[in-house]
Amino acid sequence: MTEDKAVCALAALAHAQRLQVFRLLVVAGPEGLTPSVMADRLGVARNALSFHLKELAHAGLTSVEQQGRNLIYRANYLHMNDLLGYLTEHCCQGVACDVDASGAACAAC
């Protein structure tokens, strides 16, 4: 992942409602969700949700597919994992990093 793509993805997630939408899509899994279901679950106006979905799609964090009359949005797990990889690429000073059960990284971190 390039620095520009990482900045774009992080900027898209740097808004509370977009972060909530993205997390909801991650939990929904590969089946995805329609905008109306997301709006109901999050208590967000549909027109506001549309704006946030556009921003997440522009950043490559979501995909959209037309199924009949419905749009199905899904988290783009590949892009999400690429972003996480970019953020942790130099963790532990380039040495393989082990994370223990408490979530603490190795001593080099």
Q: What number is the average pLDDT over the span 44-71?
A: 95
Say if residue 75 is exposed, middle or buried (CB neighbours under 10 Å; 0-12, 13-18, 19+).
Answer: buried
Cα separation values, 88 from 83, 97, 108, 109, Å: 9, 10, 13, 11
Predicted confidence (pLDDT) at residue 101 exceeds the cutoff of 70: no
Predicted confidence (pLDDT) at residue 108 exceeds the cutoff of 70: no
Q: What number is the average pLDDT over the span 58-67?
A: 96
Rg (CA), the chain: 16
pLDDT tier for residue 66 given thresholds of 50, 70 and 90 = very high
What structural domains does the chain harbor?
Answer: 3-89 (1.10.10.10)
Q: Which one, of 49, 46, 61, lies nearest residue 11 by Cα?
A: 61
Predicted confidence (pLDDT) at residue 107 exceeds the cutoff of 80: no
